[in-house]
Amino acid sequence: MRSRTGKPSKVDEQFDEAELVGGLAAGDERCLAALYDRYGSAALGLAFKICGNRTIAEDIVQEAFLALWQRPDRFDAKRGSAGAFLMGIVHHKAVDAVRREESVHRREDNFAGGAPEFSEDEVVDAAWISMRRQKVLAALRQLSDVQREALELAYLQGLTYSDVAARLNIPLGTAKTRMRDGMIRMRALLSQSEGTGSYDS
Amino acid sequence: MTHDELKGLVPVFALDALTPADEEELVAHLKVCRECSRLLDDHRETAGMLGFAASSQRAPADLRDRIMSQASRTAQMRATSAPVQQQRSSPPPWRWHWAGLAAACILALVAGGLAFLRIDSQTEPLTQQQIVIARQREVLDLISSPDSIMLSMVPTPASRGAEGKAFISDTEGSAAVVVSGLDPPGDDVYTLWLIAEYDPKPVTDFVPEDGLALLPVEAPVRPDMTLAVTREPDPGRSSPAGPVIMSAYRPEDLA
């Protein structure tokens, strides 16, 4: 696979996230390009899922990658993966946008063109993201219905726990407990999954 | 909130799903609690992974170009521990309010005798009072200095209306915190902490005089460090146990 800059990218070889972020810290723009090639479509999918507006979702993704570019030192490979770190930035910015702009709740039906189509260059990255997605979805399916519902409302719709409680007509404490227990279970399931089949290799 | 209650909020915080008031309190707590900070790292990783549950969307070709183009025009900020020099010709007017509060502290000491600071000291009262007053005057100079950086202390709900400012002098390698409006702590004490890398070090225990406290920090407050005031059940603690009242974080890029 080739990056769209035409240069061999890190993704052509083993995708070493820590090395790429190290490259960012050294001001190597090719490393930013490689991270975008790997995570851009997933980041846009998450931003769009939360805010439901294509223009705003693209702005959020742009801001997130630039935030990583400006402050690569905020990522510490010992504390987690670059992918999760980046998605965390995207999520935070998307939730901020949703809470700031009620208008973005006016959701567009979908991106023009429907399902994503990937060029040959993007197939490896798309397959890799798909594999990761399947692992997360498999873990989500193992949660209880109420835990999964609470996590989806909070994470993918950008609701606070008090919003979740109101939406589900449950006490605040119950909403917090469902979210907390769901996160603890997800953490265990994803750790298991990581132990039996690598995300990053 | 207790430590266990705050700890229970960590996974919800990782989901960006706390209410603003809860988030404010937890963020203050995270600055002084290594256990909760480590827990947050784990849950942030999990929350970030949840992001992959959303269907990927093919981005327009120009988004990549926009990002790369903007990156090439955007300077990277780098973490630095080097002292930062402030270049100001005269102290801004807002400093005088806090300098006035500091002066009030000194007058209170002179008129009313020693009432606060270093309550664990074994020094004789009169000598200690003289020392404290001298130190307070040094702090007043620091506050008034055009070379010092001022940070607002961010109050938590536990502050009950108290407010504070931190003044940092890279030139002197020291700092000061002025706090006003603090409730009497009763059987508790307040403690000022200097925190680097989630490792809080006690600066001083104190009991405010008429809600006021002027607290010298005889250590450099470098970028990425936090000053925090907590309310503790007893003095001399090596790590905080009580709630955070207010805190000020010095950003890495603050010059």
A9 vs chain B: nearest CA distance in angstroms? 15
Average of per-residue pLDDT across B202-207: 90
How far is Cα A56 from Cα A47, in angstroms, rounded to an integer?
Answer: 8
Q: ipTM beyond 0.90? A: no
Q: Is residue B184 part of a domain?
A: yes
B74 chain-A contacts, CB cut-off 8 A: 66, 69-70
Average of per-residue pLDDT across A3-29: 62
B196 vs chain A: nearest CA distance in angstroms? 15
- Summarised one tens digit per residue, pLDDT across range B92-140 is 455 555 566 565 655 555 444 444 444 444 445 556 666 666 666 777 7
Give pLDDT, residue B15. Answer: 94
Give the pLDDT band (50/70/90) at residue B248. confident
| Contact across the interface for A111 and B57, Cβ inside 8 Å | yes
Closest CA to B164 of B255, B253, B252, B244: B244
Q: Is residue B75 part of a domain?
A: no
The tokens for A80 are 């987690």
How far is Cα B8 from Cα B153, in angstroms, rounded to an integer?
Answer: 25
B98 and B39 part of one domain = no
Mutate to test the interface with B, among A31, A176, A184, A191 (most CBs of B within 10 A): A176
Would the pLDDT of A195 be above 60?
A: no
B7 and B123 part of one domain = no
Q: Is residue B60 part of a domain?
A: no
Q: Is residue B171 part of a domain?
A: yes
| Contact across the interface for B41 and A72, Cβ inside 8 Å | no
B47 and B100 part of one domain = no
B180 and B116 part of one domain = yes
So where are chain A's domains?
A: 8-117, 126-201
Candidates B9, B17, B52; nearest CB to A87 = B52
Phi, psi (deg, nearest 5) at residue B67: -65, -45
Would the pLDDT of A2 be above 60?
A: no
A184 chain-B contacts, CB cut-off 8 A: 11
Residue of A nearest to B14 (CA): A88
Which has more confidence, A126 or B149? B149
How far is Cα A20 from Cα A31, in angstroms, rounded to an integer?
Answer: 5
Q: Is residue B86 part of a domain?
A: no
- Summarised one tens digit per residue, pLDDT across range B160-195 is 888 888 888 887 788 888 888 888 898 899 999 998
Average of per-residue pLDDT across B13-29: 91
DSSP A66-127: HHHHH-GGG--GGGS-HHHHHHHHHHHHHHHHHHH-GGGGS--S--TTSS----GGGHHHHH
Give pLDDT, residue A60. Answer: 93
- Summarised one tens digit per residue, pLDDT across range A86-95 is 999 999 999 9
Q: What is the DSSP letter of B18?
A: S
How far is Cα A61 from Cα B85, in angstroms, rounded to an integer?
Answer: 35
B33 and B154 part of one domain = no
- Compute the radius of gyration of chain B from its Cα atoms: 21
B137 and B207 part of one domain = yes
B8 vs chain A: nearest CA distance in angstroms? 7
Mutate to test the interface with B, among A152, A155, A192 (most CBs of B within 10 A): A155
What residues form DSSP beta bridges with B213? B179
Which has more confidence, B12 or A20? B12
Q: Give the Cα-Cα-Cα angle B96, B102, B106 (nearest 5 degrees).
A: 140
Domain of B38 in residue numbering reads as 3-51
What residue type is assigned to position A167 of the chain? R
Give pLDDT, residue A184. Answer: 94
B128 and B241 part of one domain = yes
Q: Is residue B40 part of a domain?
A: yes
* Contact with chain B for residue A128, Cβ under 8 A: no
Number of A:B CB contacts under 8 A? 193
Q: Is the CB of residue B239 less than 8 Å from the CB of residue B254? A: no
| Contact across the interface for B51 and A140, Cβ inside 8 Å | no
Which has more confidence, A108 or B233? B233
Q: Is residue B170 part of a domain?
A: yes
Q: In total, how many domains does chain B have? A: 2
Would the pLDDT of A62 be above 90?
A: yes
A71 chain-B contacts, CB cut-off 8 A: 76-77
B30 and B142 part of one domain = no
How far is Cα B187 from Cα B207, in angstroms, rounded to an integer?
Answer: 10
Closest CA to B139 of B109, B105, B116: B105
The tokens for B251 are 């950003």
Q: Is residue B219 part of a domain?
A: yes
Which has more confidence, B235 or A90? A90
Domain A8-117, what fold? Answer: Rna Polymerase Sigma Factor; Chain: A (1.10.1740)
B112 and B182 part of one domain = yes
Give pLDDT, residue A61. Answer: 94
Q: Which helix (H) or strand (E) holds B112?
A: helix B94-112
A51 vs chain B: nearest CA distance in angstroms? 12
What architecture is the A126-201 domain classified under in CATH?
A: Orthogonal Bundle (1.10)
Mutate to test the interface with B, among A120, A183, A192 (most CBs of B within 10 A): A183
Give pLDDT, residue A6. Answer: 42
Residue of A nearest to B65 (CA): A33
Candidates A66, A79, A116; nearest CB to B70 = A66
How far is Cα B236 from Cα A134, in angstroms, rounded to an integer?
Answer: 52
What residues form DSSP beta bridges with B249? B226
Range A43-54 burial, b when 16+ CB lie within 10 A, else e = bbbbbbbbbbbb
Place of tokens 């950003």: B251
